[in-house]
Amino acid sequence: MSPVHEVLAALAAGTVEVVDLTAPLSAQTPTLVLPEPFANLIDFSLEEVSAYNEPGPYWKHHNIHTGEHIGTHIDAPIHWISGREGKDVAQLDPARLVGPAVVLDFTKETEADPDFLVDVAHLVAWQEEHGAFPANAWLLFRTGWDQYGHDQQAFLNLDENGSHTPGFTAECAQWMAQELKISGIGVETVGIDAGNAAALNPPFPVHYFLLGADKYGITSLKNLAQLPTQGAMIVVAPLPIVGGTGAPARVMALIQK
């Protein structure tokens, strides 16, 4: 039996399970809000074209209106100035959109401090305990933030001092980009950088270093608690938008049940 047939047989037998890591996409999906003078993307919406009526008697269909970076989505290298000469979404290597998933759990730290930042020492300590990150891996950072995915205010956690959501230090962002042979990272928050990342040096360091190093980021993940620390396979399926800096994505994991 070929390896592909083994996976298909395991799915049919129920010994391998598919876990959907994607947040539902609707007009209520929490979205990033940039302060003035920066421009914001439009939120997701559907425009009815026909619904089994005169414009289309046998079918129903819609026009989709959305920004590229809404809901569970991928950031392509050209999304950031450091990757401006890099790949758009349609050019992303499919082999890097499927790979091993490694789940790093920082829920306790985030519960204690919503501004918690993962540093290099955390990732070094993780590898000392669990082993080196696999090549082509996706590092998925569990913080419990997906519990707020139904509430825009709680998800962005805004006050007069800005947004308070977990993320990474600038040093950690640079280290992941330059020292790890990974495909990318995934987070449960609205963006791959922390809520206060504009104050770091450089600003939004995960965007700057990761995308500049031809690595990818996915956001607004959910159900990471259902995944093992190691051993899952992730499938990231964005829309292949030519020239796109990002795209909504269906993200799934295959795990041993």
Supply the residues annotated as catalytic. Answer: 79
CB 165 within 8 A of CB 120: no
Angle ∠(181,213,115) on CA atoms, nearest 5: 85
Sign of the alpha-carbon dihedral angle for 99, 79, 26, 167: positive
User: SS3 sequence, 91-150?
Assistant: HCCHHHCEEEEEEEECHHHHHHCCCCEECHHHHHHHHHHHCCCCCCEEEEEECCHHHHCC
Q: How many CA atoms lie within 13 A of 42 on its CB side?
A: 6
